[in-house]
Structure 1
């Protein structure tokens, strides 16, 4: 334990690249946690003709949003039996978004360990800062792709799970009976997850400049500029 603490260097956390990495760690958790922890219910009521026994249809929607796989059987209007039908499977977009969030979270931990416990490796090996910068380029692109895909998927999810769309899809219940809307799904948590996704895109993209400054390309360029600036033209006799 003492040997591990002896190698601890918190100076990188005071620098932009380290501080940004802490923010990336926190907001990557926020992005995937708000998605996987989502749950909300919708409901509508089937009012049967010639009967006072109304039936409330209620379903829970959760991650990963395979809403077309709902398989609950309802008994309504005395002897009628039916299942709720919802069109659409939005698992690919949500799972891609969550996967990028988890990978970003894991890489943030690895990078913080590198910065704080293996700082000599980062400072002395030219390839390590270049690789770190390149990985950030990849993650910035992945956050853009995942956030955009999930934003599109959420739009389609809202359309598929609106009560009007659900009641229209379940005509076997609502064609000969009166269906009245009940509780709508709450989408605010998923909207927040998308906001976190684009915030992560900003963090990973903006951190590229600070990481580029740690690479040998930038340092050599600065050394050359400093050398040219210190060279004075030869004086004349």
Structure 2
């Protein structure tokens, strides 16, 4: 244990490749956590008697991860009927899960990379394949973050449209047979921030490529060749 602790090199965290890894760690957590912890709801008031001025029953529909809205059908009893369903049309789970999976994998990879930087920095500096692998994985994650963020942004737009009052009335039998009034709309600020975090991750992971490329032998060999040409 003492030998491992003696090899700890925290100075690498002051370098761009190490400091940006910390940013990747933070923003990866922010991206997937804002999706998985999301909760919102919408509320409708229904008149059992259309001639009555006051609403007589209240329905509440929940919106939670993984947003398999069309598979979640909450049953309510109202107006002497026990099988009213309240749901949102559309299944947005595949893009949401893809986005979360990319965030979790990125988070785990950054942990491994930081451990490599701090405890096995000599291996990183002396083995040409390690910096190349780090650079290649960053390219892959930058592409994954871009694809996942675009897909999730598109699904979030669909989810917001599906939870509009007119669409809820259109696809729920209770509003087809009885007058419905809008009371509470879902709030998607947290999910909008998740999309922003996703594209911030695209920027951060892409920005780090230059600093990681400088650690590879391709860059070092090119600089050495330029120095030789200059001396000649």
Alignment partner, residue 199 of structure 1: 200
Alignment partner, residue 177 of structure 1: 178
> Number of residues paired by the alignment?
230
Residues 2-31 of structure 1: CA deviation (Å, up to 9, x unaligned): 222111001211110000001000110000
Alignment partner, residue 45 of structure 1: 45
Cα RMSD after superposing both structures: 1.3
Structure 2: 5+ residue runs without aligned partners?
A: none
Q: CA deviation at 1:194?
A: 0.5
CA distance in 2, matches of 1:79, 1:200: 49
Kindly report which structure 2 residues correspond to 1:55-204, keeping only aligned pairs within 5 A, or say none: 55-79=57-81, 81-170=83-172, 172-204=173-205
Residues 88-117 of structure 1: CA deviation (Å, up to 9, x unaligned): 111000000000000000000000011110
Structure 1: 5+ residue runs without aligned partners?
A: 232-237
CA distance in 1, matches of 2:207, 2:7: 29
Secondary structure of the corresponding residue to residue 144 of structure 1: helix
CA distance in 2, matches of 1:188, 1:53: 29
Q: Is the 8 A contact 1:53 1:77 kept in 2?
A: no
**Structure 1 pair 140–79 and aligned structure 2 pair: CA distance change class (3 A):** closer
Q: Is the 8 A contact 1:27 1:196 kept in 2?
A: yes
TM (norm. structure 2) is 0.95
CA distance in 1, matches of 2:71, 2:228: 67
Secondary structure of the corresponding residue to residue 184 of structure 2: coil
CA distance in 2, matches of 1:145, 1:71: 30
Q: Is it true that 1:14 corresponds to 2:14 in the alignment?
A: yes
Alignment partner, residue 235 of structure 1: none
TM (norm. structure 1) is 0.93
Q: Is the 8 A contact 2:152 2:195 kept in 1?
A: yes
Q: Is it true that 1:2 corresponds to 2:10 in the alignment?
A: no
**Structure 1 pair 75–224 and aligned structure 2 pair: CA distance change class (3 A):** same
**Structure 1 pair 115–78 and aligned structure 2 pair: CA distance change class (3 A):** same
**Structure 1 pair 79–15 and aligned structure 2 pair: CA distance change class (3 A):** closer
Structure label with greater radius of gyration? 1
Q: Following TM superposition, where does structure 1 have runs of at least 4 consecutive aligned residues deviating by more than 6 angstroms? A: none
